[in-house]
Structure 1
């Protein structure tokens, strides 16, 4: 399997829903970062244990380290989740299900934020 920008663009050209899913994944990532990062540093900033700048730097570094570490297990997690649902070899149905999941994450994150509910997507 080739992992290059050209391979992704080719796959998006052959199945446009893949492009939508990429945008939805980016949207879910933005919503998750915008709602979780403030919750993660609110206590240390509110109690003045850390300055806001130091807390933001710490959150950014820790989030990056978490992203790097999760890539080591992400294929195992993806394989497990993929094995839980049988789409009968229908890749389009699997992509539609993934799109629905991303929309649910975005909607839940935005609604919870609007009502001031603490969450962790």
Structure 2
């Protein structure tokens, strides 16, 4: 973590090998960091205390690429660059995978975003 006013390193949190993406929950309490190592973990970091509070195995053998939260902050969706592609939904309260959604056509997703209407009815996966 870098202090923007002072341009100095404030804290370091070890989360595993090959971090690939970072996203904050809508209310800023947690930072989710996905690591694309062989075990494909997601680290849940307490922003205030600068420490990992949970580790979630997303998908063994895949490489998670991106993460996005529903606007209400209850779910996080992680796209996995595996063949065929997979999107994992993670419950933010329990820090556990609730479901995995198969992407048809053998595509390998690299990004996910929710529609900007604030309702989170649709997530676009590319």
Structure 1 or 2: more helix by fraction: 1
| Structure 1 and Structure 2 fold alike (TM over 0.5) | no
Structure 1 or 2: more strand by fraction: 2
User: Relative contact order (alpha carbons < 8 A, sep ≥ 6): 1 or 2 greater?
Assistant: 1
TM-score, normalization: structure 1?
A: 0.26
Larger Rg belongs to: 1
TM-score, normalization: structure 2?
A: 0.25
